[in-house]
Amino acid sequence: MSRSSSLFNSLDRNPANFAALSPIDFLAWAGEVYPEHCALIHGSRRQSWGETLARCRRLAAALAGRGIGAGDCVAVMAPNTPALYELHFGPAMIGAVLNALNTRLDAATLAFMLEFGEARLVFVDRAFAPVMRQALAQMDTPPVVIDIDDPEYDGDEAPLGSVDYEALLAEGDPQFVAPGPDDEWDAISLNFTSGTTGDPKGVVYHHRGAYLNAMTNALAWDMPRHATYLWTLPMFHCNGWCFAWTLAAKVGTNVCLRQVAAEPILESIRQHHVTHYCGAPIVHNMIIYADKRLREEIDWPVAGLVAGAAPPSAMIEGMARIGFDLTHVYGLTETYGPAALCAKHDSWAELPLDEQVVLNGRQGVRYPTQAALTVIDRETGQEVARDGQTLGELMFAGNIVMKGYLKNASATAEAFADGWYHTGDLGVIEPDGYIKIADRAKDVIISGGENISSLEIESVLSRHPAIESSAVVARPDDTWGETPCAFIQLRAGEQLDVDTVIAYCRERLAHYKCPKTVVFGALPTTATGKIQKYELRDRAGDLE
C-alpha cells in the first residue's frame, strides 16, 4: 500500500462546498428564520429582523443603483441609531467598505478621514450636520451626503444634504439578492485609530475576521440566542467591537441609545429587560454611581464587558456589589476590538473579593478564535517567563488581526514584523498564563535603568479620595534619565498639596516609583475621552 499524502487533498473547492465567510450571512439567517423577532428598539420604534433584512437589502440595492460597488468606501457620522446598525450590513452586501466616523471628532480630522478613505458617500445624522458641514467645506471633492433624519433627534439642526436616508432606501429592492464579498479576505470596514500617539491610521477589517470575531463574542461571553443588548458602546468603535454582527448571529434585540448617561442607560435596561452591554470604564461607573432608585426593578442577570482602559478595582468591585456580571476584555482597533478576555474560573468566586478583583482585572487570554497572544521580550524576541514580573510587549497573531493600515505600507510592515501584530502595550505573563498589561510601551518611565509603570502609579493615585483622575509621564532628568511626573485633576471642592501626594505614594509604592513632580489641573483628553499623554509629556519636558 503506497503512502499518498495527496490522497485526501485532491478534492477541490466548488460552489456546493465552499462559501466566503461574511457576517452579512448572519443577518440573512436572522431575517429568514426569525423574521418576526424584534431586531431594533429605538424610542417607540420596533423593527423586526425580517424588516431589518429587507431594509438592508434595499440599502444595498440603492447603493448599487447609485454606482457604489466593491471596494468603495461609504462613511457615516451618527450616534447608535437603527440607520448606523443597518449600515453595518447594506454596504457589505455589495462589497463596499463602511467607515463609521467617531462622532466626537473635529471637522479637520473628519475631512482628513473622508479624504483618506476616499469616501464616495457620507451618511450624516442631523445632530452632526454642523461639524460635517465644516468638514466637507475643507475638501476638494466632498462625498455625496445622505441625511439621517432620526425621529429621536430632538435638536434643531437642519439636514445637510439633499437626499434622505429613508428616501434612499425607497430606491432599493427589498428582495435584492446580495452578491456578498468575492473573497472572505475582502475589506468590510475601515476604522481609524484614535490617534493618541499621532496621526490616525486607517485600519482595514475583512469579512472573515468580522465573521469570526462576531461569533467569538457570543462564544466567549456565552451570549444566548435572543439576548437583549444595549448600545452603550459606540458602533463607531471597531464596529461596536463587532457586536453589530454578533447581535445578528444570535438573533438578539439591539436597544439603540443616542445619549450615554446614567438615566437613559438604566431606564433602557429596566424597560427593555436588557441582558448585555459593553463599554469603557466610564459607562460602568455611571451605572455604579447612579441613583439607586434607577436600578430598583432590575432583578435579572445583566452582563457587561469592559475594555478601553484597565478597569480600576473600585469599578470591578462596584459592579459585583450591584449584581452585574462584569468581564474584562482587551484589544485594539487593529484587533477588531476585543481579541482577549479575562476568562473567569469557578474557583475564583470562592476567593476574597479583593483577590477576585485582581484576577478579573487582568487582560487575560486570547479569544478562542485568535491564534495567539503572548508577551515577547523586545530584545531577545522570545516569550518572557511566566513569572508575572518580566516585562515584554504584548503580541497577537491570527484571524482577529486587521488586514493592515490603509495606504501605509511602512506602518503595516512595522506592525506585522516577525509574524506578530505588535500592540505597543507592555505587560507580563502571570504563572497561570494570563496576561496583564503593565503599560503602553511609550508610557514606561525608565529611571536609573529601572522600568517604572506609569499605570501602577496611576492606579495608586486613583484610590485617593480627593483625586478624580491622574496621568503619570516621564520627565527628563539629568541624573536618572527620567523620573515620574504626575498630573492630577482633583475632585470638585477638594484640595491637596504636592508633599501629601508624594507621601501618600511612598506608603504604597517602592520609593523609586514615586512621582518626583506633581502638577495639579484639568487633564487634556482626546475626542474619545482618552487622556492625551503626549501633550502631558510635552508639558513635563517644559517644566522648570
Binding to its own copies (CB under 8 A): which residues in 183-242? 185-187, 190, 204, 215, 218-219, 222, 224-226
What phi and psi values does residue 480 have, to the nearest 5 degrees? -95, -5
| Nearest distance in Å: CB 245, its own copies | 12
Amino acid at 365: V
CB-wise, 242 or 509, nearer to its own copies?
242
- Give the residue, chosen from 128, 277, 396, 480, that forms a contact with its own copies under the rule CB under 8 A: 396
- Give the residue, chosen from 66, 104, 107, 118, that forms a contact with its own copies under the rule CB under 8 A: 118
- Give the residue, chosen from 11, 158, 349, 492, that forms a contact with its own copies under the rule CB under 8 A: 11
Helix (H) / strand (E) element for 477: namely strand 467-477
Q: Which of residues 322-341 bind its own copies (CB under 8 A)?
A: none
Strands 404-405 and 202-206: antiparallel
Residue 198 DSSP SS3: coil
Binding of its own copies at residue 14 (CB under 8 A)?
A: yes
CB-wise, 47 or 399, nearer to its own copies?
399
| Nearest distance in Å: CB 64, its own copies | 14
Q: How many residues interact with its own copies (rule CB under 8 A)?
A: 78
Binding of its own copies at residue 19 (CB under 8 A)?
A: yes
Amino acid at 269: I
Residue 183 DSSP SS3: coil
Q: From CA 544, how far away is CA 523, in angstroms rounded?
A: 19
CB-wise, 239 or 453, nearer to its own copies?
239
Burial annotation 170-207 (CB, 10 A radius, 16+ → b, else e):
eebeeebebebbeebebbbbbbbbbbbeeebbbbbbbb
Q: Which stretch binds its own copies (CB under 8 A): 228-236, 414-422, 472-480, 495-503?
A: 414-422
Q: Which of residues 33-62 bind its own copies (CB under 8 A)?
A: 33-34, 36
- For residues 426 to 465, the per-residue mask of contacts with its own copies, x marking binding by CB under 8 A and - elsewhere, is -------x--------------------------------
Strands 276-279 and 228-230: parallel
Q: From CA 119, how far away is CA 113, in angstroms rounded?
A: 8
Q: Which of residues 244-283 bind its own copies (CB under 8 A)?
A: 249-250
DSSP label at 199?
Answer: S
| Nearest distance in Å: CB 424, its own copies | 14
3-state helix/strand/coil string of 218-269: HHHHCCCCCCEEECCCCCCCHHHHCHHHHHHHCCCEEECECCCCHHHHHHHH
- Give the residue, chosen from 43, 65, 323, 368, that forms a contact with its own copies under the rule CB under 8 A: 368
Q: From CA 101, how far away is CA 123, in angstroms rounded?
A: 10
| Nearest distance in Å: CB 414, its own copies | 11
| Nearest distance in Å: CB 416, its own copies | 4
Sequence length of the chain is 544
Binding of its own copies at residue 381 (CB under 8 A)?
A: no
Helix (H) / strand (E) element for 119: namely strand 119-125
Q: Which of residues 140-159 bind its own copies (CB under 8 A)?
A: 140-141
Quote the cell numbers at residue 448.
Answer: 536609573
Q: From CA 340, how far away is CA 338, in angstroms rounded?
A: 6
Binding of its own copies at residue 380 (CB under 8 A)?
A: no
Are the beta carbons of 264 and 271 closer than 8 angstroms? no
Helix (H) / strand (E) element for 86: namely helix 82-86
- Give the residue, chosen from 66, 70, 462, 528, that forms a contact with its own copies under the rule CB under 8 A: 70
Binding of its own copies at residue 15 (CB under 8 A)?
A: yes
- Give the residue, chosen from 346, 478, 507, 542, that forms a contact with its own copies under the rule CB under 8 A: 346
Binding of its own copies at residue 412 (CB under 8 A)?
A: yes
Binding of its own copies at residue 349 (CB under 8 A)?
A: no
Binding of its own copies at residue 121 (CB under 8 A)?
A: no
Q: Which of residues 85-114 bind its own copies (CB under 8 A)?
A: 97
Of 310, 301, 265, the C-alpha closest to 283 is 265
- Give the residue, chosen from 104, 133, 270, 403, that forms a contact with its own copies under the rule CB under 8 A: 403
Binding of its own copies at residue 371 (CB under 8 A)?
A: yes
Binding of its own copies at residue 415 (CB under 8 A)?
A: yes
Q: From CA 60, how far away is CA 179, in angstroms rounded?
A: 10
